[in-house]
Amino acid sequence: MGDLHAIRQFLASEGILMSFHGPFRHGILEELGRALRKHLESESTRKPDTTDVFSVYIEAAQNVANYANRHNGGDPAGARFQQGVVVIGRQGDHHIVQCGNFILPADGPALLARLDHLSGLDAAALKTLFKERIRADVEPGAPGAGLGLIRMARIASRPLGYAIVPGEDGLDFFSLTVIL
């Protein structure tokens, strides 16, 4: 382990309010969410802003948990998929939520294509797409509606930041940055 004082200095200098690295299980995400809200309330964030930060956190984290659940079926890398990282910070007037997880390299191109598509849409187009997808059929067995990224793009004050880099054990690492 590194020097704790150095870690603290890094967290403080980056404006990090909360960070978590570990299994993205539902019960843990609930507890982290509760802590995040309390933390935001204590720094007297306006209610709509607290809702926005919480929304981005929940959508990003549940995407990771859902992805891990889909890959749990006998895959030796199943546990690895559940190990995500989420960091919530503040820089000036902006809250920033970053979330990352391991993915199968085969899943990368489709994910990047979706994000590239979203980054080209303005607020009106994102709203239209969100409304279309709300009423679209969900594939059987899907845990989510595929709406999370669209909601995050609507909340964000800048285009979503994203990257896929080579990870470990033949997996890639996906990271998402949302500036509110």
Contacting residues toward other proteins, per CB under 8 A: 26, 30-31, 33-34, 47-48, 51-52, 54-55, 58-59, 62, 65, 127, 131, 133-135, 138, 142-145, 147-148, 150-151
Q: How far is the CB of 50 from other proteins (least distance, A)?
A: 8
Question: 6: which 2 tokens?
Answer: 């150095």
| Cα dihedral across residues 91, 37, 83, 2: positive or negative | positive
Q: How far is the CB of 144 from other proteins (least distance, A)?
A: 5
What secondary structure does DSSP assign to 42-99, as a single string?
Answer: HTT--HHHHHHHHHHHHHHHHHHHHHHHHT-SS-TTHHHHHEEEEEEEEETTEEEEEE
User: Is 29 within 8 Å of 62 (Cβ atoms)?
Assistant: yes
Judged by beta carbon, residue 125 or residue 134, the one nearer other proteins is 134
Judged by beta carbon, residue 67 or residue 172, the one nearer other proteins is 67
Q: How far is the CB of 14 from other proteins (least distance, A)?
A: 26
Judged by beta carbon, residue 8 or residue 26, the one nearer other proteins is 26
Q: How far is the CB of 30 from other proteins (least distance, A)?
A: 5
Gap between the Cα atoms of 172 and 109, Å rounded: 11
Q: How far is the CB of 8 from other proteins (least distance, A)?
A: 29
Pairing, β 172-179 against β 94-103:
antiparallel
User: Is 56 within 8 Å of 97 (Cβ atoms)?
Assistant: yes
Gap between the Cα atoms of 138 and 30, Å rounded: 24
Judged by beta carbon, residue 51 or residue 175, the one nearer other proteins is 51
Judged by beta carbon, residue 3 or residue 43, the one nearer other proteins is 43
